[in-house]
């Protein structure tokens, strides 16, 4: 079967994902996670929503949860035709393709979060805007000191910038006729020039990694270009921190590859919903829809 994988980004993480990682991660992955999330070792610890929204918690946690799932799934899955990741999810996509090991990726995810927080210079945030022409959204965003960060679908974009600028921008967008406005559980102005220093710092970290061919093509969330080497994937991984994402283009490329099924790995189901709207004829499910990996395998077995 032809399988495509999507790795979710921040925003859908919940206490049950923390518990999943705390109970399931072992070996080098667990040791790496404990370096950055020591509370994982505390029995029955339950993180608050505020804690889960922190970059320095969310990024290593989500990456760790995705790698935990991937390690359980990979031995019994067909080789994917492609992998793609939404924002932070591109870290997991790169690791799944062999750019770096899971434990090393936890350290990189934690450093990515630290660099982003330092570069932001203060509280930031992201606002999803639905129902308006993109040109109008960009005009209103610029007038309120925000930037277009992600193009998800026609008339569905995400803005980012300083936290204090989000409420007045939301009021203006609502007055302009936005059908829905959602402030995301993200605390930095991701994918905007405000994080240029973070992108440069992360590039220096990634430059230490060796060059090699990838086992699976990785689609860049910036422009859907297909990376076949680690250097190409790492370049995109650094650039996307301060560059707007065209997730719509990524999903269009996935659809053009004609997969028999698409699986979203990680917290939430936002990527599944976006893909289903674009390609209703291609089956797509999130790992969160299943109680365990056996259910995932049973679903995928239908398409063999």
Confidence bin at 209 (pLDDT 50/70/90): very high
Nearest to 85 by CA among 289, 279, 251: 251
Domain span including residue 243: 3-120+193-301
Mean pLDDT of 206-234: 96
In a domain, 188, yes or no: no
Confidence at residue 189, expressed as pLDDT on a 0 to 100 scale: 96
Confidence at residue 50, expressed as pLDDT on a 0 to 100 scale: 92
> Per the structure block, which two tokens stand in for 282?
């291609």
Percent of the chain predicted with pLDDT > 70: 100
Structural domain count of the chain: 2
Q: Are residues 286 and 148 in the same domain?
A: no
Q: Are residues 151 and 172 in the same domain?
A: yes
Q: How far is it, in rounded angstroms, from Cα 73 to Cα 76?
A: 6
Mean pLDDT of 187-201: 96
Q: How far is it, in rounded angstroms, from Cα 111 to Cα 187?
A: 16
> 214 near 99, Cβ under 8 Å?
yes
> 79 near 215, Cβ under 8 Å?
yes
Question: 207: how many CB neighbours lie within 10 A of its CB?
Answer: 11
Question: Which of helix, strand or coil describes residue 184?
Answer: coil
CA 149 to chain CA mean position, Å: 13
Q: Are residues 44 and 143 in the same domain?
A: no
Confidence at residue 187, expressed as pLDDT on a 0 to 100 scale: 87
Taking the CA atoms of residue 253, residue 257, residue 261 and residue 266 in that order, the dihedral angle to the nearest 10 degrees is -40
Q: For residue 35, what is the domain's CATH number?
A: 3.40.366.10
Residue 238 pLDDT exceeds 90: yes
> 270 near 284, Cβ under 8 Å?
no
């Amino acid at each position: 079967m032809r399988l495509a994988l999507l790795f979710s980004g921040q925003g859908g993480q919940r206490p049950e994902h923390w518990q999943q990682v705390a109970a399931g991660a072992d070996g080098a992955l667990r040791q790496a996670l404990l370096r950055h999330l020591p509370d994982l070792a505390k029995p029955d610890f339950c993180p608050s929503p505020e804690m889960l929204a922190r970059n320095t918690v969310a990024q290593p946690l989500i990456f760790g949860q995705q790698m935990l799932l991937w390690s359980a799934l990979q031995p019994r899955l067909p080789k994917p035709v492609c992998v793609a990741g939404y924002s932070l999810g591109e870290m997991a996509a790169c690791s799944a393709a062999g750019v770096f090991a899971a434990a090393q990726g936890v350290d990189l995810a934690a450093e990515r979060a630290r660099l982003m927080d330092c570069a932001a210079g203060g509280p930031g945030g992201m606002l999803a805007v639905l129902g308006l022409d993109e040109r109008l959204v960009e005009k209103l965003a610029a007038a309120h000191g925000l930037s277009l960060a992600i193009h998800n679908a026609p008339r569905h974009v995400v803005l980012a910038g300083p936290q204090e600028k989000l409420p007045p921008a939301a009021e203006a967008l609502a007055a302009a006729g936005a059908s829905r406005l959602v402030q995301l559980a993200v605390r930095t102005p991701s994918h905007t020039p405000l994080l240029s220093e973070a992108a440069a710092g992360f590039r220096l970290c990634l430059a230490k990694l060796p060059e090699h061919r990838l086992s699976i093509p990785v689609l860049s969330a910036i422009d859907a270009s297909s990376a076949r080497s680690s250097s190409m994937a790492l370049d995109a991984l650094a650039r996307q921190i301060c560059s707007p994402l065209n997730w719509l283009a990524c999903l269009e490329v996935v659809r053009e590859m004609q997969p028999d099924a698409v699986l979203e790995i990680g917290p939430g189901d936002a990527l599944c919903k976006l893909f289903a709207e674009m390609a209703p004829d291609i089956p797509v499910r999130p790992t969160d829809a299943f109680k365990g990996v056996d259910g995932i395998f049973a679903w995928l077995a239908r398409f063999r």
